Amino acid sequence: MKRLTSLAAIALALSLSAGCAHRRTANELPPEPPSATATAEADDAGDQASTVGTAPLPGSRGDFLQSVPSDRVFFDFDSYALDDRDRTTLDAQAAWLTRNSGVRVLIEGHADERGTREYNLALGDRRANAARDYLESRGIAASRMQTISWGKERPANPASTEEAYAENRRAVTVVPE
Amino acid sequence: MKPLFALFALLLASAGQAQTEPQSAEPPPLEVDVTGGQRAALPIAVPSMPTPQEAATAAGGTGALGRQVADIVATDLRNSGLFTPIGPGGLHAVSFPQVTAPDFPYFATTGAQNLVQGFVQANANGSITVGCYLYDIAAQNELTRQGYVVQPRDWRRAAHRCADAIFSRLTGEGAYFDTRIVYVSETGPARRRIKRLAIMDYDGANHRFLTNGQWTVLTPRFAPNQQTITFMTYQDERPRVMVYELDSGRTRPLVAGPNMTFAPRYSPDSRYIIFSMAIGGNTDIYRIPVAGGTPQRLTNSPGIDTGGSYSPDGSRIVFESDRGGSQQIYMMDSDGSNQRRISFGGGGYATPVWSPRGDLIAFTKTGGFRIGVMAPDGSGERILTGGGYAEGPTWAPNGRAIMFTRGASQGELWYVDVASGATRRVPTPLGGSDPAWSPLRP
């Protein structure tokens, strides 16, 4: 596992900008269903990644990001409820985690900036646990999952717009590099 | 210099710390209307303070210090919103003998009603004495006098103490200038914001950092006895409440175990800290001795219960909860019993903080994010801040002023006078958030 991880890190480092572009696409998938244009862009990014020969190693973060629709689920304002789209995302994550039974994950809960600091810490904890509980219901052992709440301290998108807020209200499943 | 004062200064010099002359037993008359806040600010003359003999100190010459002390006294009084200081610039120089024999006819021509005079004197042991005298110009009499003996590096404290003495004598209100602020200094992009614990005087002077910025820190609070600070840190990516010992600089976790702990606040006797702990997505309020021990659970709702703050007598705790569907303010006895909602206005309420005077609870109104106050029974709600995101109020020790965070992602520290609603920015070297106002310094 250790060796695989470092190989994956080297592969990622070698992939340079193309690899980064792919990861950025996966990390910043907006919560709305992608339009036809957005899908085409995502496919382009995937093609670029493959042309420089970055096949992620099984069990790596790269593998996880390529195998699931998204590493994160998004929430409505002041909510920690999962919708069908979130469950589809988490089902895929659960399937990958089932295939890679040695991998432990950290689930980060986040809030947008429109909330008091302490409440948002509690809200981020709720969101991380909502994702965690669902993954557990899909057969992932609780011992493989840790949660952390960042409240509003680590926005994915620093802008103060509705779109940015929607990106920031999230629970992210983090697979080790 | 009058003999009585000279004797007292001598006594103080041996003590070697900032100390005040005992207050007279007679209660001061209320000369400024502070509850209405509408009366015009009181004009008060603050000339430069002379020195009996120019001498070098570790903080500069005594003559220059006399001017700087007068500047700080004037600034403090202006900051209160209750005074319009005249001087030090533009006023006739005061000679040392005139400190106790003011030129009342001259100061009457300035339009001032009161006069602050004083002196700065170097002592043989390296300390300095700051004398501080308050006069009524029309009545031509002395209202109070104080002497402060401090190390030269603490000269600003002597000035703040002088301003505190004048403020209290003329308003009947508690002092609050000789205080500090602990807060979170912020810099860098929002996605990787660097947040460091920092401490400074209430006016922004004597700023220093307490943590190096490696880990995000949040919500520091002063212990009422000012021996420790509690705060939340992401040290080792384990978000939890820590206790920082101001003397030693040592930091230790408050609560054992893996769960996230946050929103700490001390009991008035500094023996306990109430805090929030999130377990499996549910947040409740707990109490634990500052020295450590077993947390005692105070709330038990399936909602988010956080932001606890003690009443000044320690008998009750105000907190926020979304158990009813939205964030609202609740009250309970300090053992967790008798929980009841007290906020019923439109929109949500968060971060309740009990005034040190006990008469008001400050809060963040989450619809629009403004700072407001209400009585402990929930009545008399009043919004203090205008446009712009605001959250996280903290009270001055006299309950007259509130400091808070302005800005949702790039924070600044701001101050609002509770009576008048006048606001001003508190200077910080970088961005700032989560201020906590100290009690009066010992």
Boundary residue ending a domain (B125, B140, B171): B171
Q: Where does the pLDDT of residue A19 fall: very low under 50, low under 70, confident under 90, or very high at 90 and above?
A: very low
The pLDDT assigned to B388 comes to: 86
CB–CB contact B189 A158 (8 Å)? yes
Cα separation, A88 vs A108, whole angstroms: 18
The pLDDT assigned to B369 comes to: 94
Strand pairing of B423-426 and B208-209? Answer: unpaired
Topology classification of domain A2-174: 60s Ribosomal Protein L30; Chain: A; (3.30.1330)
Q: What tokens does A53 get?
A: 């020969």
pLDDT, one tens digit per residue, over A110-155 is: 999 999 999 999 999 999 999 999 999 999 999 999 999 999 999 9
The pLDDT assigned to B420 comes to: 84
Q: Are residues B76 and B191 in the same domain?
A: no
Q: Are residues B222 and B365 in the same domain?
A: yes
CATH value at residue B250: 2.120.10.30
Q: Are residues B146 and B124 in the same domain?
A: yes
Cα separation, B297 vs B282, whole angstroms: 13
The answer to whether A62 touches A6, Cβ cutoff 8 Å, is: no
pLDDT, one tens digit per residue, over B12-70 is: 333 333 333 333 333 333 333 344 444 578 999 999 999 999 999 999 999 999 999 99
Backbone region of residue B166 per phi and psi (left: phi > 0; alpha: psi in -120 to 50; beta: other values) = alpha
The answer to whether B337 touches B316, Cβ cutoff 8 Å, is: no
pLDDT, one tens digit per residue, over B78-130 is: 988 899 999 899 999 999 999 999 999 999 999 999 999 999 999 999 999 99
Is A116 within 8 Å of chain B by CB?
Answer: yes
Give yes or no for residue B436 having a pLDDT over 60.
yes
Please list every residue in chain A whose beta carbon sits closer than 8 Å to the beta carbon of residue B195. 153
A16-45 residues labelled b (16+ CB within 10 A) or e (exposed): eebbeebbebbeebebeeeeeeeeeeeeeb
Is A155 within 8 Å of chain B by CB?
Answer: yes
The pLDDT assigned to A52 comes to: 64
- Give domain status of residue B281, yes or no: yes
Q: Are residues B82 and B201 in the same domain?
A: no
pTM: 0.84
CATH value at residue B17: 3.40.50.10070
Cα separation, B147 vs B100, whole angstroms: 13
Is A80 within 8 Å of chain B by CB?
Answer: yes
- Give domain status of residue B253, yes or no: yes
Give yes or no for residue B174 having a pLDDT over 70.
yes
Q: What angle do CA B83, B84, B90 make, to 5 degrees?
A: 140
Q: Where does the pLDDT of residue B367 fall: very low under 50, low under 70, confident under 90, or very high at 90 and above?
A: confident
Give yes or no for residue A50 having a pLDDT over 70.
no
pLDDT, one tens digit per residue, over B387-424 is: 789 999 999 999 999 999 998 778 999 999 998 888 88
Is A165 within 8 Å of chain B by CB?
Answer: no
The answer to whether B360 touches B418, Cβ cutoff 8 Å, is: yes
Please list every residue in chain B whose beta carbon sits closer than 8 Å to the beta carbon of residue A130. 281
Is B327 within 8 Å of chain A by CB?
Answer: yes
Average pLDDT score over residue span B301-323: 97
Alpha-carbon distance values, B54 to A45, B63, B304 (Å): 75, 6, 62
- Give domain status of residue B442, yes or no: no
pLDDT, one tens digit per residue, over A100-113 is: 999 999 999 999 99
The answer to whether B406 touches B394, Cβ cutoff 8 Å, is: no
Count other Cβ atoms within 10 Å, centred on residue B101. 10
The pLDDT assigned to B26 comes to: 36
Q: Are residues B151 and B298 in the same domain?
A: no
Phi, psi of A136 (to 5 degrees): -65, -40
B290-313 residues labelled b (16+ CB within 10 A) or e (exposed): beeeebeebbebebbbbbbbbbee
Helical packing angle, A117-137 and A84-99, nearest 10°: 60
β-bridge mates for residue B284, sequence order: B277
The closest CB to that of A119, out of B193, B280, B304, belongs to: B304
Q: Are residues B66 and B201 in the same domain?
A: no
Cα separation, B80 vs B37, whole angstroms: 11
Tokens 């996966």 correspond to A26
CB–CB contact B219 A118 (8 Å)? yes
Alpha-carbon distance values, A3 to A60, B86, B198 (Å): 11, 74, 42
Q: Are residues B158 and B189 in the same domain?
A: no
Q: Dump the DSSP string for B190-237.
A: GGG-EEEEEEEETTS-S-EESS-SSS-EEEEEE-TTSSEEEEEE-GGG
The pLDDT assigned to A25 comes to: 38
Give me the number of domains chain B comprises: 2
Q: Are residues B335 and B431 in the same domain?
A: yes
| A·B CB contacts under 8 A | 87
Cα separation, B412 vs B435, whole angstroms: 10
Please give the residue of chain B at the shortest CA–CA distance from A116.
B391
Cα separation, A132 vs A112, whole angstroms: 20
Q: Are residues B145 and B194 in the same domain?
A: no
Q: Are residues B114 and B191 in the same domain?
A: no
Residue B268, domain extent: 180-437
Q: How much is the ipTM here?
A: 0.88
Q: How far is CA B316 from the centre of its chain?
A: 22
The closest CB to that of A121, out of B262, B327, B392, belongs to: B262
Boundary residue ending a domain (B171, B202, B234): B171
Q: Are residues B360 and B390 in the same domain?
A: yes
Q: Are residues B190 and B289 in the same domain?
A: yes
CB–CB contact A118 B237 (8 Å)? no
Q: What tokens does B415 get?
A: 């101050």
Is A122 within 8 Å of chain B by CB?
Answer: yes
- Give domain status of residue B348, yes or no: yes
Cα separation, B307 vs B251, whole angstroms: 22
* Greatest Cα-to-Cα distance within chain B, rounded to the nearest angstrom: 73
Is B376 within 8 Å of chain A by CB?
Answer: no
- Give domain status of residue B30, yes or no: yes
Is B394 within 8 Å of chain A by CB?
Answer: no
